[in-house]
Each structure stands twice: as structure tokens, then as C-alpha cells.
Amino acid sequence: MAAPERLVFISPSDPPGDWERAFRAAAPEIEFVVSRGEVEAPETIDWAVVWKPPPGALARLPNLKCVLSLGAGVDHILGDPSYPKGVPLSRVVDPYLTAGMSEYVVLHVLTHHRDLPRSLAHQAAGRWTPFAAPRADETRVGLMGLGELGLDAARKLKTFGYRLAGWSLGRKAEPGVESFAGPDELGAFLARTDILVCLLPLTAATRGILNARAFAQLPRGARIVNAARGGHLVEADLLAALDEGRIGGATLDVFEREPLPAMSPLWSHPKVIVTPHIAALTDARSTAGQMAESMARVRAGGRPLYEVDLRRGY
């Protein structure tokens, strides 16, 4: 009888118990191994389900058939130059994750449009100071990235009547969303954006894209919502732009260093809302099933679901 297939689970933050239960239901024939450092008998591992695997960890598994990211983003895997290039990589595309991200984006776009921080500051001071928000149809929201997450967020934002635009690599044809494409159109996209939402993958082309140059192209007082990756934002440039009034406020879910260090000035900045990388979490019950489907496809000689283009990096 052939030895059972083995799956190694590597994550410093996801609860392995939830995933073990989900895989027991979705793929009971596969042995679930939690890595807490070195993997025992690495040559027997067929599948790796990972979030931020230590550099070199995947390269030490010589018989891997597929790597499955525990997140939608894969920079946490492809940042390792020793990633075994011949092994297919699959990412999460899941309705619960997409819905979670759209909830977060709608919540924070409304927060900035209606200037909730200003109301909270008035409340803290015991001041009754009415103020008017701009009309939604005169408020320009711009989404950087119109992929799985950006497109769903745009569709949900439409119901509020915002003037919407998206920036992506290729041109999009989504009704009610003005499409800007490629580096040549970034400036025009920024110039028409009052509330900028970043939902880009982190790649060599997008690292540091939220920088002083970009902030200078936005209308004065524009707001930023970064729910993508900390590496997109040059934090020092944001702090300078906030203090100078060029940027009016920001919501940040992701940071160059996570957890955000206690000393970071972002924690207490009056114009910044900090959340701890919770915009959209991966649902184990929903996602283990699609990962099992990917494994079945690869076992049968095919490609996994939601395969990442390793050359493009997303």
C-alpha cells in the first residue's frame, strides 16, 4: 500500500487546530503535519500550506507538488529567493475573504468621507460642533488594484454614489468605474482621487508606491486607506505629508514591520487609524475545501486553482 500523502502547515500566526479540523473534513486521506521548526522526513512532504514560511523552508522539501498560500497575497512566500521555481503556487480567492475586505474598505471610505475622526475628537472634547460632509457624488474614490478584492469593493462602494476610478496594469471595463492603466496613467488617477484605497499585490513594481511623489499628486487633504501590504507605503513620507496637511488622514491595516513596533509614531498619530492586519482574514472551513480541490487537480496532472504567475509575482 502506498504511504499516505503528507501536508506540512507552516504559519507563525494561524491557529493550526482550526486548519487541521478543516483539512480532516476536506481531505481526510492526507496526513496533516504542523511545522515548528525543522520538518521531520522532509522528502515525504507532498503539500505545503503556508503563511510567512521561514526563508529556505520550502526549498528544503524536495518532493513538493504544490505550495498553497494561506493568504490572497503571496509576497510572504515569493520574497524568499530560494522559492523552488518549478513548484506551482496557489493563493486564496474566497468569497468570505472578499466580503471581509469589502466591509473594511466601505467602513473606512465612509469613515474618511464623513470624517468620523473629527466627530470623535469633538465628542472627546464635549463639543457640539456640526459640520457637513461633501456629497458622495462629489467625492472621488480611487482604488489601486482592481483585481478580486478591488473590483468587489468598487461594486459595493457604487451603492453610495461615489465617483469611482481604479488603477490596474490592464484596462478594465467595469460600468461606473473610470479605468486608469499602467504607470503612464498613475498621475492622472492620483490627481482625481480624494480617498485612495490600496489593494495592490506587493511586487517589485509596487513596493513603496505610496510615497511623497504620489502624495504630491493627490489633491491636498486626500485620505489614504492601505489594506494591501505595509511595503507599499513609505511610512516616513506619510508622516511628513500628514503633518504638513497634504494628506488629511489615513487608515492603515498593514505595516512594514508587523506587529507594529510600540515605538511607532503611527500608533498615536491623531490623523491615523491603525488596525492589526485584520481587513480580511482567511476562513479555514471555506478555504481548506478549495485547497483540497487544488491538490486533487495537481495529483491528476493539472494546475491548482488560483495559480500565481511566478514571473509577474501575483
The catalytic residue positions are: 229, 277
User: Binds 169, which of ligand GLV, ligand NAP, none (CB < 5 to 8 A, cut-off by type)?
Assistant: ligand NAP
Residues between 226 and 255 with contacts to ligand NAP, criterion CB under 6 A = 227-229, 253-254
CB 172 within 8 A of CB 166: yes
Dist. CA 77–CA 53, nearest whole Å: 7
Of 45 and 203, the one with the shorter C-beta distance to ligand NAP is 203
As measured in angstroms, the least distance from the Cβ of 147 to ligand NAP is 2
Per partner kind, with CB cut-offs from 5 to 8 A, the member of ligand GLV, ligand NAP, none near residue 227 is ligand NAP
Shortest separation between residue 70's beta carbon and ligand GLV, angstroms: 7
- Is the bond preceding 95 in cis, omega lying within 30 degrees of 0? no
CB of 8: closest distance to ligand NAP in angstroms? 23
Q: Which does 304 bind (CB under 5 to 8 A by kind): ligand NAP, ligand GLV, none?
A: none
How far is 307 from 8, CA to CA, in rounded Å?
Answer: 19
150 binds ligand NAP (CB under 6 A): yes
CB of 71 to ligand GLV, least distance (A): 3
**Residue 145 touches which member of ligand NAP, ligand GLV, none, C-beta under 5-8 Å by kind:** ligand NAP
Summarize as ranges the residues that interact with ligand GLV (CB under 6 A). 71-73, 92, 282
Residues 157-216 that bind ligand NAP (CB under 6 A): 167-170, 199-203, 205-206
Decide: is 280 part of the binding site for ligand NAP (CB under 6 A): yes
Instruction: Output the DSSP codes for the chain.
Output: -PPPPEEEEE-SSS-HHHHHHHHHHH-TTSEEEE-SSSPSSGGG--EEEESSPPTTTTTT-TT--EEEESSS--HHHHTSTT--TTS-EE----HHHHHHHHHHHHHHHHHHHTTHHHHHHHHHTT-----PPPPGGG-EEEEE--SHHHHHHHHHHHTTT-EEEEEESS----TTEEEEESGGGHHHHHHT-SEEEE-----TTTTT-BSHHHHHHSPTTEEEEE-S-GGGB-HHHHHHHHHHTSEEEEEES--SSSSPPTT-TTTT-TTEEE--S-SS---HHHHHHHHHHHHHHHHTTS--TTB--TTTT-
- Binding-site size for ligand NAP (CB under 6 A) equals 30
Site string for ligand NAP, 25-64 (x = CB under 6 A): ----------------------------------------
Contact pattern from residue 91 through residue 130 relative to ligand NAP, giving x for each residue in contact according to CB under 6 A and a dash for the rest? ----------x-----------------------------
Interface residue list for ligand NAP (CB under 6 A):
71-73, 101, 145-150, 167-170, 199-203, 205-206, 227-229, 253-254, 277, 279-280, 314
